[in-house]
Amino acid sequence: MEERDKDEGPGVPDMTMMPQITEHAINNNLKRRYIHDLIYTYTGSILVAVNPYKELGCYNMEDMQNYRGRAFGSLPPHVFALAESAYSSLQNGEKNQSVVISGESGAGKTETTKLILQYLCAAGGQASWAEQQILEANTVLEAFGNAKTVRNDNSSRFGKFVEVRLDHRGGIRGAVLRDFLLERARITGPAPRETNYHVFYQLVEGAKHNAELRTTLRLRDGVHFKYLNPEDEEARKGRGGEQGKLEALQLALTVLQVPLHMCEGLFKVLAAVLWLGNIQFQDVDGERTTLAPEDAEAVDAVANLLGLAPLTAQRVLLERQINVRGNVTDIPLRLPEARENRHAMARALYARTFAWLVRHVNSCSAPGREARRALGVLDIFGFENFAVNSLEQLCINYANEKLHMFFNNYVFALEQEIYRQEGIKYHQIQFTDNAACLELLEKPPRSLLKLLSEQCHMPKGSDNAYLTNIQGEFGEHQSFVKGSRRKWEEEFGVQHYAGTVTYSAQGFVDKNRDTQQDAFIDHLSRSANPFVRELADYVQDLAPPGHV
């Protein structure tokens, strides 16, 4: 089959030139090009990229220079041509530019984003400090925000919009980064065959070869820490290659001007997160919980690493504080509550560390006033449909629905409007309109996400009550899939533009609540670790995923 395809030649570089534009013809053309190692193809001004899963050797300095200053379409399709087109439009004084990168998990979005940023940095002329910072920010964000999933060994578990700012001469003056929806559930329990965030493994591996670091961070081998999914052989496969990664991360943090003592504080927080996962707890009488004898080491490590007094650490692990009109009362936690509370502490620490890093990157690569022109690159997670889909997938697919709507409006509706205004004859193009699905997901006052928020505000809110609500409310909605009656108490489906996805409602309410650790955060603000004190101030942009 492949040989026959090869004989057919490498297809056309711009699919608008094809005599017949059908799904089959498009796929066939992309396949023929792919077989010839031609992974890029245009569709008008859109670049379609097929992941080659191998080094193609077409991204070196010479390739960048080839595309520099050349008009879009004058050379074979390439991601550099797209970057050049956006860059030169900006230099010519046109409007600010955006590159939107979309595709399913593993399609190559993050690699494409990196290539675009590399091109912009090279095109900006002499390598500047700002450019180096933009590239190193990627190293840091990848360590903290990427993980191995069943689809991709280096999957980005957050979305990002990088706005590169340029001065009037086209020189890069800095960048502003916005992050979206870091996947928090992964921190305390990667799914089967998946891993936690890369940085944990890099830290454990780095500490293996650095006795001082191992002692300061109280680190052990990876197999010791439950959050690293140590018993999952499949998850471990494909890992490795961590050697030297910690040094690269430390270098990147230095380029980003994170002071050494803050770096140490940050690593201590990561180690504390790992130790939190190892605390087992023990039931006292069904109403109260205590620490198990084997928890002593973990609790001591958590207290020490977070700069808290041991008794304070124990208190926040075993009790919750409620404040009724100024009177603070300690309520003992039951065993499942204590276990969940400890996970929430770990997630809060990590999410705040991530937010701290993003804010730090922004403050140190701040573009300054004369950098008025902006070139944005959007790289968000692609549409997801796994064997089991949860709230994270619902949020990711919601973001993709919004992007799809934007794409439809921009590419089809606006183009057709231009044709109409210019009196050009054309056939009305039919495209999948996803307005109904977006209405189901977000339209106030009642939508899947609004009803979830409502459920979270109820004292006895539960996943079951949420399911009953949405089935009653949306049973007849064209984008809601009730599924088989047998499963009504467990799941629901949504008909997305890219296909129907079944969501398991288990954990929706807890995940969306992601109870804020008020007393814990209050203690952090008085920590002996200066990095931890700064984490206590991070309240912005930390709303749980389903809060819209």
Catalytic residue list: 105-106, 110, 152, 155-156, 382, 384
Was 103 annotated as part of a binding site?
yes
- Decide if residue 110 touches ligand ATP (CB under 6 A): yes
Binding mask 222-261 for ligand ATP (x = CB under 6 A): ----------------------------------------
C-beta of residue 31 within 8 angstroms of C-beta of residue 48: no
Which of 206, 382, 461, 544 is in the footprint of ligand ATP by CB under 6 A? 382
Answer for which of 32, 78, 109, 343 binds ligand ATP (CB under 6 A) is 109
Nearer to ligand ATP, 159 or 367 (CB): 159
Residues 291 and 317: beta-carbon distance below 8 Å: yes
H/E run at residue 190: none
Backbone angles phi, psi at 108, to 5 degrees: 120, 20
Decide: residue 136, CB within 10 A, 0-12 exposed, 13-18 middle, 19+ buried. buried
The nearer residue to ligand ATP, 275 or 381, going by C-beta atoms, is 381
Torsion over CA: 164, 41, 405, 382 (sign) = negative
Which of 386/431 has CB closer to ligand ATP?
386
- The residue type of 441 is L
User: Does residue 105 bind ligand ATP (CB under 6 A)?
Assistant: yes
Residues 6+ apart with CB under 8 A from 126: none
- E strand or H helix at 493: strand 491-496
Q: What is the DSSP letter of 222?
A: G
- Exactly one of 108, 159, 222, 544 binds ligand ATP (CB under 6 A); which one? 108
- The Cα 33–Cα 323 span in angstroms is 65
User: Tokens 């245009």 label which residue?
Assistant: 42
Q: Which secondary-structure segment (H or E) carries 364?
A: helix 335-364
Site map 122..151 versus ligand ATP, x via CB under 6 A: -----------------------------x
229: left (phi over 0), alpha (psi -120 to 50) or beta: left
Question: Rule CB under 6 A: is residue 89 a binding residue for ligand ATP?
Answer: no
Write phi, then psi, for 480 (nearest 5 degrees): -95, 135
Is residue 103 at the binding interface for ligand ATP, with CB under 6 A as the rule?
yes
106 has binding-site annotation: yes
Largest CA distance in the chain: 81
Q: How far apart are CA 407 and CA 383, in angstroms?
A: 14
Residue with smaller CB distance to ligand ATP, 49 or 456: 49
301 annotated ligand-binding residue: no
Binding mask 32-51 for ligand ATP (x = CB under 6 A): -------------------x
Radius of gyration of the chain (CA): 25
In this structure, the dihedral spanned by the alpha carbons of residues 522, 395, 229 and 295, taken in order and rounded to 10 degrees, is 20
Let me know how long the chain is: 548
Short-list 30, 161, 150, CA closest to 99: 161
Q: Is 472 annotated as a binding residue?
A: no
- The verdict on whether residue 183 carries a ligand-binding annotation is no
All residues at 6 or more sequence positions from 186 whose CB lies less than 8 Å from its CB, including other chains: 147, 157, 194, 196, 197
Q: 57 or 293, CB closer to ligand ATP? A: 57
Name which position in 3, 23, 24, 53 contacts ligand ATP (CB under 6 A). 53
Considering the complex, what minimum distance in angstroms separates the CB of residue 99 from ligand ATP? 14
The CA distance from 471 to 488, in Å, is 8
Q: How near is the Cβ of 39 to ligand ATP at its closest, in Å? A: 7
Task: Identify which of residues 194 and 295 has a Cβ nearer to ligand ATP in the complex.
Answer: 194
Shortest Cβ 105–ligand ATP spacing (Å)? 4
Residue 156 binds to ligand ATP (criterion: CB under 6 A): yes
Could you say which DSSP state residue 331 is in? E
With CB under 6 A as the contact rule, the residue among 152, 229, 512, 529 that binds ligand ATP is 152
Strand partners, 177: 162
* Binding test (CB under 6 A) with ligand ATP, winner from 13, 52, 76, 230: 52
The single residue among 10, 13, 73, 106 that binds ligand ATP, judged by CB under 6 A, is 106
End-to-end CA distance of the chain: 49
Query: Which one of residues 111, 264, 300, 337 is an interface residue with ligand ATP (CB under 6 A)?
Result: 111
Q: Looking only at residues 285 through 324 of this chain, which bind ligand ATP when binding is defined by CB under 6 A?
A: none
* 376 contributes a contact to ligand ATP by CB under 6 A: no
Closest to ligand ATP by CB, 154 vs 515, is 154
88 belongs to the binding site for ligand ATP (CB under 6 A): no
Nearest distance, CB of residue 471 and ligand ATP, angstroms: 31
**Binding-site sequence positions:** 103-110
The site for ligand ATP (CB under 6 A) is made up of 51-53, 55-56, 103, 105-111, 151-152, 154-156, 381-382
**Binding-site sequence positions for ATP:** 103-110
